[in-house]
């Protein structure tokens, strides 16, 4: 090289990182007022689950206090949780679905 051998070449090559979008949980919260059958109906209608899966998830929330229903993209999680919570509200029940980022 000539008298000035300062290299302009980067020492490391970094690939541009595309962050994976965060996933969100939709969680069913137990309460003392919403009828079991109504919870199952909402799970079937909004989350497209079978009677058996709906029953299992309802019973998990009933016994444990909460049950994770699905993990998905934020906009889907939020709209499903709202749709399901609104069905309870319209029928006069305090049924609640909440969303939070997955760890
Ligand atoms: N605990 C309610 C009852 O005994 C049933 C229920 C289950 C309500 C799960 C909400 O997320 C829930 N009628």
- Alpha-carbon distance 39 to 32, whole Å? 12
Most informative mutation of 29, 36, 87, 88 for ligand 1 (most atoms within 8 A of CB)? 36
Pocket of ligand 1 (CB under 6 A): 28-32, 34-36, 39, 58, 61-62, 95
- Compare 85 and 18 and report the one with higher pLDDT: 85
| pLDDT given at position 7 | 61
Task: Domain ranges for the chain, please list them.
Answer: 32-101
- The DSSP bridge partners found for residue 27 are 68, 98
- Compare 74 and 2 and report the one with higher pLDDT: 74
What is the DSSP annotation of 13-76? Answer: --PPP-PPPPEEEEEEE--SSS-HHHHHHHHHHHH---HHHHHHHHHHHHHHSEEEEEEEEHHH
pLDDT band for position 2 (cuts 50, 70, 90): very low
Please give the structure tokens belonging to residue 63: 């016994």
| Mean pLDDT, the chain, integer | 92
Most informative mutation of 26, 31, 53, 96 for ligand 1 (most atoms within 8 A of CB)? 31
- Looking at the chain, the whole-number percentage of residues with pLDDT higher than 90 is 79
Is the predicted pLDDT of residue 4 greater than 90, yes or no? no
15-59 pLDDT tens trace: 777 888 899 999 999 999 999 999 999 999 999 999 999 999 999
For CA atoms 33, 36, 40, 45, the dihedral sign is: negative
- Alpha-carbon distance 71 to 57, whole Å? 14
* Closest CA to ligand 1's atom 2: 32
| pLDDT given at position 27 | 98
* Closest CA to ligand 1's atom 7: 62
Look at the domain 32-101 and name its fold. Ribosomal Protein L30; Chain: A, (3.30.1390)
| pLDDT given at position 1 | 44
């Amino acid at each position: 090289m000539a008298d000035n051998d300062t290299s302009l070449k980067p020492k490391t090559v970094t690939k541009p990182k595309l962050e994976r979008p965060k996933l969100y949980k939709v969680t069913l919260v137990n309460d003392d007022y919403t009828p079991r059958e109504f919870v199952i109906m909402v799970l079937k209608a909004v989350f497209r689950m079978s009677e058996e899966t709906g029953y299992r998830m309802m019973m998990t929330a009933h016994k444990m206090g909460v049950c994770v229903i699905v993990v998905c993209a934020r906009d889907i999680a939020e709209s499903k949780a709202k749709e399901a919570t609104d069905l309870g509200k319209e029928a006069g029940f305090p049924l609640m679905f909440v969303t939070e980022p997955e760890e």
